[in-house]
C-alpha cells in the first residue's frame, strides 16, 4: 500500500529489505550508504542480506545524541567512504536518527537523495513523514534543520515487535494528536485500541490512517506556512517540557512531552477558543491515565515560559499556539497571555 505526494512515496510493507533492494537499482554499486542506531543494527540489520551488505555509520541511540556531533559523524562517514551527489543514504532507525540523518543528507554536497526506514512508532507516524530534518542545539529542540523530502519512506510494522511499551506510547501520542486535530473517528479508534487486546492487524490499520492524516496536511502546506501548523498542537508546551528535561539531565521521550503538552493546550483551547470544558477534562484525564503524571511544580513554570519564547512558531515576540475549538476544528497562530499559559501549566501539574 502506498501514499504519495509530488516528491515522496510512503510505502507500507512487511519486507523492508526487499522494498529497499528494488529502490537501490537506480544507484551505482558502492554508492548506497546507511545510517542507523546501535540497537537497531544489533536487533535487525547485522545479518540481513540487504542491510548487512551496506557500508554503515552506527550511532548511539537516545535523544541526548541528537546533536551536531552526530551529524558530523555522518558527514565524515560519507566523505571518507567516497559518497558523491549521486549517492543514496538509507536512514534506518527511530525519529532521532531519521531527523538528524535526513539533515546530514540534505546538506552533504548541497544535498543527496535519502530514504527513511523508520523503526519506531513515533518515527513511522510522525518523524519520518513530512520532510522536516534537524537536530537539537543549545538545549533547544530541533533548533537547526531543513525542509527536505526523502525519496521514499518505507514503513514495515515488523520493526515494532521489539518496541517497549514506553516507546510505543511515545509514538501513540502523535496519533492521538492526529485524531484531535483532524478526525474524531480516528480518535475513537485510538481510545478503543488501548482498551482492548494488542492486535497487530488493527494497529497496522490505524497507523495507515494516522500517516494519511499527516500526509494530507503536508501536501496542502509543505513548508508550514498555514494549515500544516495544525500538526503543532501540543508541541509549543511539549517542546518546552522536553527542552527543560534535557537541561536538567532527565531527558523525556518526545511523545510523553507532547502528551503532557496536549493536556496544557486543551486547557488553553477552553479559555482561548471555547473548546467544550467537559470534553477537554475528559480527554486530559484519559491522556493523563495513559502517560502518568509529569513531576511539575510552580518552580518550573517560569523556565518553561522562557523556553516557549524560543519556539520556532513564534512571531513578533508573541508565543504562538495551535489550539482547538472542538475535536477536528483547528485554530492556528493563537496567542495566549502569560497568565493563561501559567494557568495551563498549573492545570497540567494538578491534574
With beta carbons less than 8 A apart as the criterion, state whether 102 and 133 touch: yes
Checking if the pLDDT of 195 tops 90, the result is no
Query: Rounded to two decimals, what is the model's pTM?
Result: 0.94
Checking if the pLDDT of 93 tops 70, the result is yes
Report the pLDDT value the prediction gives residue 196, as an integer from 0 to 100. 77
Q: What are phi and psi of 150, to 5 degrees?
A: -70, 155
Checking if the pLDDT of 123 tops 80, the result is yes
The CATH classification number of 166-350 equals 1.20.1090.10
Checking if the pLDDT of 143 tops 80, the result is yes
Cell 495544525 found at: 230
How far is it, in rounded angstroms, from Cα 29 to Cα 240?
44
Report the pLDDT value the prediction gives residue 315, as an integer from 0 to 100. 75
- 71-88 average pLDDT score: 98
Count the neighbouring beta carbons within 10 Å of the beta carbon of residue 168.
16
Alpha helix segments (H runs only) across the chain: 16-23, 38-40, 68-80, 95-107, 121-122, 165-182, 184-195, 200-220, 235-247, 254-273, 277-291, 301-308, 338-350
How far is it, in rounded angstroms, from Cα 304 to Cα 311?
11
The angle subtended at Cα 133 by Cα 184 and Cα 104, nearest 5°, is: 155
Nearest C-alpha neighbor of 92 from the set 130, 61, 132: 61
How far is it, in rounded angstroms, from Cα 34 to Cα 273?
46
Taking each continuous run of H as one helix and of E as one strand, the counts in the chain are 13, 11
- Cα 3 to Cα 92, 117, 176, 177: the distances in Å are 20, 15, 21, 20
- 167-181 average pLDDT score: 97
Q: Looking only at Cα atoms, what is the longest distance across the chain?
A: 60
With beta carbons less than 8 A apart as the criterion, state whether 304 and 344 touch: no
Count the neighbouring beta carbons within 10 Å of the beta carbon of residue 4.
12
What single-letter DSSP state applies at residue 61?
P
Summarised one tens digit per residue, pLDDT across range 32-75 is: 999 999 999 999 999 999 999 999 999 999 999 999 999 999 99
How far is it, in rounded angstroms, from Cα 167 to Cα 33?
27
Report the pLDDT value the prediction gives residue 4, as an integer from 0 to 100. 52
Where exactly are the structural domains of the chain? Answer: 2-163, 166-350
Mean residue pLDDT of the chain comes to: 94
With beta carbons less than 8 A apart as the criterion, state whether 324 and 180 touch: yes
What single-letter DSSP state applies at residue 132?
E
Q: Answer yes or no: CATH 3.40.50.1970 is held by domain 2-163.
A: yes
Residue 316 pLDDT level (bands cut at 50, 70, 90): low
What dihedral angle (degrees, nearest 10) is formed by the CA atoms of 257, 258, 261, 263?
Answer: -110
- Cα 337 to Cα 210, 265, 322, 329: the distances in Å are 32, 13, 14, 22
Amino acid at each position: 500500500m502506498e501514499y504519495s505526494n509530488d516528491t515522496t512515496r510512503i510505502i507500507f510493507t512487511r519486507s523492508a529489505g526487499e522494498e529497499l533492494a528494488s529502490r537501490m537499482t537506480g544507484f551505482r554499486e558502492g554508492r548506497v550508504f546507511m545510517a542507523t542506531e546501535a540497537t537497531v543494527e544489533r536487533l535487525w540489520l547485522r545479518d540481513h542480506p540487504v542491510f548487512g551488505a551496506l557500508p554503515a555509520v552506527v550511532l548511539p541511540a537516545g535523544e541526548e545524541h541528537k546533536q551536531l556531533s552526530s551529524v558530523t559523524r555522518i558527514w565524515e562517514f560519507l566523505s571518507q567512504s567516497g559518497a558523491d551527489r549521486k549517492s543514496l543514504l538509507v536512514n534506518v532507525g527511530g525519529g532521532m536518527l531519521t531527523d538528524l540523518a535526513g539533515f546530514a543528507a540534505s546538506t552533504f554536497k548541497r544535498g543527496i537523495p535519502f530514504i527513511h526506514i523508520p523503526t519506531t512508532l513515533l518515527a513511522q507516524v510522525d518523524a519520518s513523514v513530512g520532510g522536516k530534518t534537524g537536530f537539537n542545539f543549545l538545549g533547544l529542540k530541533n533548533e537547526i534543520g531543513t525542509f527536505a523530502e526523502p525519496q521514499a519512506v518505507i514503513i514495515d510494522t515488523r520493526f515494532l515487535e521489539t518496541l517497549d511499551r514506553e516507546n510505543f506510547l511515545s509514538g501513540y501520542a502523535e496519533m492521538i494528536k492526529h485524531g484531535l486535530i483532524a478526525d474524531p473517528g480516528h480518535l475513537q479508534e485510538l481510545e478503543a485500541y488501548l482498551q482492548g487486546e494488542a492486535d497487530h492487524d488493527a494497529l497496522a490499520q490505524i497507523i495507515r490512517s494516522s500517516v494519511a492524516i499527516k500526509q494530507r496536511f503536508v501536501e496542502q502546506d509543505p513548508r508550514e506556512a498555514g494549515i500544516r501548523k495544525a500538526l503543532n498542537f501540543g508541541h509549543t508546551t511539549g517542546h518546552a517540557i522536553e527542552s527543560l528535561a534535557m537541561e536538567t539531565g532527565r531527558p523525556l521521550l518526545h511523545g510523553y512531552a507532547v502528551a503532557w503538552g496536549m493536556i496544557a493546550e486543551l486547557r488553553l483551547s477552553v479559555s482561548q477558543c471555547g473548546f467544550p470544558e467537559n470534553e477537554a477534562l475528559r480527554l486530559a484525564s484519559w491522556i493523563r491515565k495513559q502517560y502518568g503524571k509529569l513531576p511539575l511544580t510552580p518552580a518550573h513554570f517560569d523556565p518553561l515560559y522562557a523556553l516557549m519564547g524560543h519556539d520556532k512558531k513564534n512571531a513578533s515576540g508573541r508565543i504562538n499556539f495551535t489550539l482547538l475549538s472542538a475535536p477536528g476544528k483547528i485554530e492556528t497562530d493563537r496567542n495566549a497571555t502569560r497568565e493563561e499559559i501559567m494557568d495551563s501549566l498549573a492545570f497540567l501539574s494538578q491534574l
